[in-house]
Structure 1
């Protein structure tokens, strides 16, 4: 059976330094969620991560108000301990820098302090097609699990294989 044209990719290639950068960011922001952008290239069903861009977790009352009603919720009242947001101006700036380097934003990463590396319903509601969503579980301040997810054509998260390549 042929995949629909907009079916998400199902493999993301990373290297050990990139994984370490995400884990370190997650550990240093604990007990709050960290977040950042993933720059790279998409070829066919494979995403190749070129650079990890840590960003500030911009979650605040303004972000909570902006996300009111997402997924039928009355109010997103969480704090940086259980929510993240990347400021729109940061997204635009990184998108421009990526384009200038002939790269794309291929995904977003964030941490789940003292929770599994499994997307929440809120994560799913705000996710975009084609992006990889790498989640780092941080248990008691130590990064313990890193998983990638991508949306299928029914807007449901599916696990995405992570291939960690050696650095040459």
Structure 2
């Protein structure tokens, strides 16, 4: 993946940021994390709803939620990259480089929270406990993942890889 070799300086210059501009870097990290959260939330909610509706165990439901979070998270990166004429293999490589760490961190945090909140996984789809725990777990995962994405972007990795295809 030759695209990963871009330095933070090159990334910052392409996006009009001054090198060392911490606020601009933080804004970029927040946008990248929001992008990640969108795909993760779609997959996470869908997985939790399917697993809970089918009466699956917490473990099976979490595995489904994680799998779907990765599918939807990667899809939200792959589709726009494909639209600029990049082949599927290259687009998949960009998505893997851009989103893997971010999605993994987000999934570890939000699923751990769902499992440790007493009764959340067993509460059922009509329960405010289920939906409140799910919303809180995604919000906390977002807050935890922003600094991770900030570090990755500063190093020219993570979501920084995909930016060259958006501009």
Check whether TM > 0.5.
no
More strand by share: 1
With normalisation by structure 1, the TM-score equals 0.30
Q: Which has the larger radius of gyration?
A: 2
With normalisation by structure 2, the TM-score equals 0.31
